[in-house]
Amino acid sequence: MANVVCIKWGTAFGPEYVNRLYSGVRRNLAGSVRFFCMTDRAEGLHPDIEALALPEEPFQGEMDAALAVANRQGAMRKVSLFKPGRVPVEGPLLGFDLDVVITGSLDDLLDVAPGRVVMRHDWVEARKRRPTGHGSVFRFEPARHGWLYDDLAADAYGEVERARGSEQRYTSHKAMDRGEFAYLPAPWVTSFKHDCLPIWPTNHWSKPRLPPDARVVCFHGRPKMPEAVAGYRHWLRNARPCGWLKEHWIDRARDDLGADWA
């Protein structure tokens, strides 16, 4: 049994993002899957998805105050997942942001560096030779890594300030400081804008490519998935309509779950 989780709050992402992510996960894991979504809006989720209430943390006010100084509104809600017992499972949890598309087998992601917090090296930080994980794909064990929640609860303003308002910086650097962090192999977790788009100016006439060993494609920043499917007009990030993205994100999900859910 693989335990998988995502988090959704507000209205930026509709339930179809969760449902398509669930479909991509279950189609690309060999064993059975238990899929959770922590959310403040559970309507529209596929009935096989286990909805968990998104809590209001007792330190939310301190965290919001520090985030306002960092000019990052709404960030770091993911820390709620780190509290032991919040997600009712034992063992590791594989987590995804909603702006990702599953394009290949996820089985290997369950086996990298057992017992550690694992994330992909952030693309920008990697280019600058600086250590920080990227939060689009992450794996951790709540019972083992509960300090990710406890340390923030103990000093929310200070921890957010030190992380400069970045949940992924907080999570990865905390784990690094404790010697409990490992990077996922870069070819498995790819960036649409960094790894799939042809370089400028050829992206204006050449279509995006899917790297051969990509298991997850991340749509951090712009374009997001609907924009990339339809075609995105931008002087630098211009993207021709992307057929393989439509296939993996929409068509296969609808074949799997039915049009009412995807």
Q: What is the pLDDT of residues 39-92, one digit of tens each?
A: 999 999 999 999 999 999 999 999 999 999 988 866 788 999 999 999 999 999
One domain, residues 217 and 90: no
Residue 164 has pLDDT above 70, yes or no: yes
* CA–CA gap between residue 260 and residue 41 (Å, rounded): 18
The interaxial angle of helices 147-154 and 167-177, nearest 10 deg, is 110
Domain boundary among 130, 157, 185: 185
Domain boundary among 126, 158, 185: 185
Select from 188, 242, 243 the least CA-distant residue to 217.
Answer: 188
Percent of the chain predicted with pLDDT > 70:
99
One domain, residues 135 and 223: no
Task: Tell me what the mean pLDDT of segment 126-143 comes to.
Answer: 97
Name residue, tokens 């089985």: 107
Helices (H) and strands (E) in the chain — how many of each?
A: 9, 10
Q: Is 247 exposed, middle or buried (0-12, 13-18, 19+ CB in 10 A)?
A: middle
Q: Provide the greatest CA pair distance for the chain.
A: 52
The answer to the question of residue 262 being in a domain is no
Tokens linked to 186: 């870069």
Residue 168 has pLDDT above 70, yes or no: yes
The answer to the question of residue 197 being in a domain is yes
* CA–CA gap between residue 257 and residue 262 (Å, rounded): 7
* CA–CA gap between residue 140 and residue 131 (Å, rounded): 18
* CA–CA gap between residue 115 and residue 145 (Å, rounded): 9
One domain, residues 146 and 201: no
Q: Is 254 exposed, middle or buried (0-12, 13-18, 19+ CB in 10 A)?
A: middle
231: alpha, beta or left? (left if phi > 0; alpha if psi -120 to 50): left
The answer to the question of residue 155 being in a domain is yes
One domain, residues 54 and 165: yes
* CA–CA gap between residue 259 and residue 262 (Å, rounded): 5
Residue 13 has pLDDT above 70, yes or no: yes
One domain, residues 131 and 232: no
**Overall number of domains in the chain:** 2
One domain, residues 247 and 154: no
Q: In this structure, what CATH number is given to the domain that contains residue 140?
A: 3.90.550.10
One domain, residues 152 and 196: no
How would residue 243 be classed by pLDDT, with cut points 50, 70 and 90?
Answer: very high
One domain, residues 27 and 79: yes
Q: What is the domain extent for residue 76?
A: 2-185
One domain, residues 155 and 196: no
One domain, residues 116 and 217: no
How would residue 104 be classed by pLDDT, with cut points 50, 70 and 90?
Answer: very high
One domain, residues 174 and 214: no
Residue 262 has pLDDT above 70, yes or no: yes
DSSP characters for 200-225? TTGGGTSPP---TT-SEEE--SSS-H
Tokens linked to 54: 């998104």
Domain boundary among 135, 166, 185: 185
The answer to the question of residue 164 being in a domain is yes
Tokens linked to 106: 């996820």
One domain, residues 84 and 169: yes
CA angle in degrees (0–180, nearest 5) for 17-188-138: 60
Q: How many residues does the chain have?
A: 262
Residues 6+ apart with CB under 8 A from 81: 5, 7, 38, 87, 93, 95, 142
Task: Tell me what the mean pLDDT of segment 158-183 comes to.
Answer: 96
CA angle in degrees (0–180, nearest 5) for 114-120-122: 150
- pLDDT on residue 45: 98
The answer to the question of residue 64 being in a domain is yes
* CA–CA gap between residue 171 and residue 196 (Å, rounded): 27
* Residues forming a β-bridge with 89: none
